[in-house]
């Protein structure tokens, strides 16, 4: 499953990329809204993890343009802590879910699983599913 991560903070984007990669996802990472907008016009992703505060073009505008093109890819927003307005605007613009910073990587993985297309075969790798079942049991 191919995921687009859009996050301008280099430390955060690196740790998120590591976490998603170890969850057997293929991760493309963009560091500004303009590049994200461009790559979303030309590439297909199973999930987009989109920071709101981005250089050049903010995440809400990237999301607005994406939905204006009738692209229904699931979008998980990363919002500033406590910013209700960002979350509401994002959800209004068609985001599927959000995570307020700071968040645990396990929470990101759980939200990504929930937001990813459920009908698509081979979404997340089997070892992760088994691990989840063990944890629930």
The nearest distance, CB 77 to Ca ion, in angstroms, is: 11
In the bound state with Ca ion, the residue whose beta carbon lies nearer, of 1 and 66, is: 66
Interior CA angle at 2 toward 54 and 70, to 5°? Answer: 65
Q: Could you tell me which of 111, 114, 61 has the C-alpha nearest to residue 90?
A: 61
In the bound state with Ca ion, the residue whose beta carbon lies nearer, of 66 and 79, is: 79
Angle between helix 84-92 and helix 59-68 axes, rounded to 10 deg: 10
Q: Look up residue 93 and give its two tokens.
A: 């613009």
The nearest distance, CB 120 to Ca ion, in angstroms, is: 29
Q: Site residues (CB under 5 A) for Ca ion?
A: 8, 51, 53
The nearest distance, CB 6 to Ca ion, in angstroms, is: 9
In the bound state with Ca ion, the residue whose beta carbon lies nearer, of 53 and 94, is: 53
In the bound state with Ca ion, the residue whose beta carbon lies nearer, of 1 and 77, is: 77
Residue nearest to Ca ion (CB): 53
Give me the phi and psi of 106, to 5 degrees please: -65, -35
The nearest distance, CB 4 to Ca ion, in angstroms, is: 15
What percent of the residues of the chain are helix, what percent strand, and what percent coil, each to the nearest 5? Answer: 45, 20, 35
């Amino acid at each position: 499953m191919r995921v687009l991560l859009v996050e301008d903070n280099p430390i955060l984007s690196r740790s998120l990329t590591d976490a998603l990669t170890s969850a057997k996802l293929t991760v493309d990472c963009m560091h500004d809204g303009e590049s994200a907008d461009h790559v979303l016009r030309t590439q297909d992703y199973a999930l987009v993890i989109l920071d709101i505060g981005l250089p050049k073009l903010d995440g809400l505008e990237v999301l607005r343009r994406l939905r204006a093109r009738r692209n229904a890819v699931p979008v998980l927003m990363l919002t500033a802590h406590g910013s209700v307005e960002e979350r509401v605007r994002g959800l209004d613009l068609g985001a599927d879910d959000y995570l307020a910073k700071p968040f645990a990587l396990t929470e990101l993985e759980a939200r990504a699983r929930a937001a990813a297309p459920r009908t698509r075969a081979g979404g997340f790798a089997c070892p992760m599913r088994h691990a989840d079942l063990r944890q629930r049991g």
